[in-house]
Amino acid sequence: MKFRKPILAIILVLSALCLSLLCLTGCDDTDIYANRVKVVFKLEGGTYRSTQSDVVYYLGEKDGTSKKIYDPVSVSGEKMINAEYKFVGWFRDRIEDGDKVVYRNKWDFELDRVGDDGITLYACWRRYTYNVCYRDDDGSLVVLGEYTVSEGEPFEDYDNYASNRTGYTSLDIYRTESGEMWDENFTHPGGDEDLAVNVVVEYLKGDYKLVRTARELRASRNGNIYLMNDIDFGGEKFAGFGNYRGTFNGNGYTIKNFSLDYASGRDGLVSNSNLENDGNHNGRNLLVLSLFGNVDGATVENVKFENVTFDVNTTFTTTAGIYVAPLALTAKSSVFKNVSFGGTLTLTNLPSNLDRDKDLYIAASPCYRNLDGSDFGDCIVDFVRA
């Protein structure tokens, strides 16, 4: 009994020695797989399972039959990546054409089969991109940014590359390179070659707020404005545009159905030195009603104001005078072009110290006092006193 452990140790050593001799004489990989079908996947710059080495596996023995193979990436569920390139598929043929590599005969894992000669397949990588562009003054395309996408992916400017053109405002209108309006149903066609699809942005020169709703108009009323559609206030109040210094382009649209909102008490009274010498008062403690107030260096164009109500409703006795003008109270270095105004003036209440015939000053023209010949020549005003 006490000799069992030494005998067992000797047996294990002899077994290991025999195994080593067998490997030296018959453990060559070529011999082991010589009669099996070899499949090689060349990654072509891709990385799979943290390596760029070929993926190799062996099917059953060579027996004259064809065999189905499987995409190793699909089987393992692990990703194969190659920087910003998109994986197109596995191809039978890799052809070098100068500096260009062309892949042909894409492998169909459902239909294609491997014979006894095995197969080597090459990973094909492509850069499918959308280029966000604009046309400069000489008509050349300038790229603002690009998105690397997959075949069949729609265009979306989620990084807002369109806003990167200095001195211009994107109109959120996109066109094809040939000038057609972008079809939202279009998807990237992909294909067997690298392909960049140019998406051309339409711009407005200058820095504007694009306004589509009453809420946006209220928020942007003191800045440069570009209307994108009609706005109907539905009878709500709107404070107008303050003392306006910007550029308002109505783009041919209409703003309608609102009453002018203003402070009717002490907080609503203003002083205006430009009205001191009109012979009526000293230019202080005035209540003024006008869409654009005092304009200086302003441009207002291509817009209609319809069904606008100005209602004089104040009993504050400190009020020295009330001025009403459809578009502007005073104007300097300004232009109003292709502008129309249709509205009604109502008188609900006046302070007891004011006479509605003597202390209420209503402009018969778009502007109450034009200080320097600002251009209101292309304006139509229909302002009715109820």
Q: What is the pLDDT of residues 100-159, one digit of tens each?
A: 788 899 999 999 999 999 999 999 998 899 999 999 999 999 999 999 888 899 999 999
The residue type at 231: I
pLDDT tier at 22 (50, 70, 90 boundaries)?
very low
Task: State mean pLDDT over 212-223.
Answer: 96
- pLDDT greater than 80 at residue 281: no
- pLDDT greater than 70 at residue 24: no
- pLDDT greater than 60 at residue 188: yes
* Across 169-178, 240-249, 288-297, 347-356, least confident range: 347-356
Task: State mean pLDDT over 336-350.
Answer: 96
What's the pLDDT at 1? Answer: 37
Measured between alpha carbons, how far apart are the two ends of the chain, in Å? 128
What are the structure tokens assigned to 308, written together? Answer: 């606008």
CA torsion through residues 349, 242, 295, 303, sign: negative
Q: What mean pLDDT value characterizes the chain?
A: 88
pLDDT digits (tens, 9 = 90+) for 220-238: 999 999 999 999 999 999 9
Q: How far is CA 186 from CA 92, 97, 141, 299, in A?
A: 31, 32, 21, 39
